[in-house]
Amino acid sequence: MKKCVFKGCGTALVTPFSKDNKIDYNALDKLIDFQLEGNIDALIIFGTTGEASTLTDDEKATMAKFVLKKVNGKIPVIAGAGSNNTFRAIELSKLLESSGVDALLHVTPYYNKTNEEGLIRHFTAVANSTNLPVILYNVPSRTGMNISPCACGELANVSNICGIKEASGDLRVIGPIHSKAGEDFAVYAGNDDVILPTLACGGVGVISVLSNILPVQVSEICNSFLGGDINKTRTLTSKYARLISLLFCETNPIPIKYALSLTGHCNDYTRLPLWNMSEANKELLKREMEFLEII
């Protein structure tokens, strides 16, 4: 049987930058401390929230080693290694495996779109290039490609493909994914606004943006449900619904980086083409964080 990499809350960690566009390791150190103190269950680096597409290979290797040394085996560290070039995705997988990460996250090939057979062959080739567990990442709003339940069923036959970050927004696919891929194929909510229904449909956790600023609370949302306290999960989900919406009112990770600047964890610098949040949306997000007594 497959073993899922984690259950509960995995934080899709931002990559903090300094004003001169370099990785801010002092801020990263503080962010990791904050996450560990918040009892999250995994860290995901080099995902969408981590601005992976703007990082060089050297930056990824150096940052991965820094994160792993800081985490020191307390929780799994999962690294994004996706590409729209299969051979490039294999190179990244090998690089990050050599850095010591615990698992890989692989997004569907973007722009260079393929058919379902090509998609299956892409993920199979990538998974066969590494000994690490591989989590698929389905986010068609960004990539223009969707991983169907049937494709999940095929890919579940690859021994180290163990689950999927399901960010299509279509909750109807979770049941068919389990039907095709098996109950031991882990499904993670890919969006914070669908944690509760994803768990209710048999998911095992979330890869979260919100937990960058609320690790304790998102962990409670997941652990309450998994522990049978569904009412607590509902209450917390309702409490943070507007905040979640505001964190996605502009392209992720622009809002979450602004939120982290308000909590003092890092600056809100992003790398181009991402740019500063609008002043109007900044004010809305700040007010909601004040209302929730986060700041």
Q: Tens of pLDDT along 212-245?
A: 999 999 999 999 999 999 999 999 999 999 999 9
| pLDDT computed for residue 2 by the predictor | 65
Q: How many domains does the chain have?
A: 1
Residue 274 lies in a domain: no
In a domain, residue 273? The reply is no
How far apart (Å, rounded) are the C-alpha atoms in residues 270 and 285? 18
> Is the residue at 189 inside a domain?
yes
Whether 224 maps to a domain, the answer reads: yes
Q: CB neighbours of 190 closer than 8 A, spacing ≥ 6?
A: 137, 138, 139, 165, 166, 167, 168, 206, 207
125: CATH: 3.20.20.70
List the catalytic residues.
Answer: 137, 165
The whole-model pTM stands at 0.96
Strand runs (DSSP E) across 81-226, as ranges?
103-107, 134-138, 161-166, 186-189, 205-208
| pLDDT tens-digit series, residues 16-75 | 999 999 999 999 999 999 999 999 999 999 999 999 999 999 999 999 999 999 999 999
Does any domain span residue 280?
A: no
Whether 128 is in a domain gets the answer yes
Query: Is there a domain that residue 248 lies in?
Result: no
Q: Which residue, 262, 161, 246, 160, is CA-closest to 209?
A: 246
Report if residue 182 sits inside a domain.
yes
81 close to 104: Cβ distance less than 8 angstroms: yes
Interatomic CA distance for residues 169 and 216, integer angstroms: 24
- The domain containing residue 176 runs over which residues? 8-230
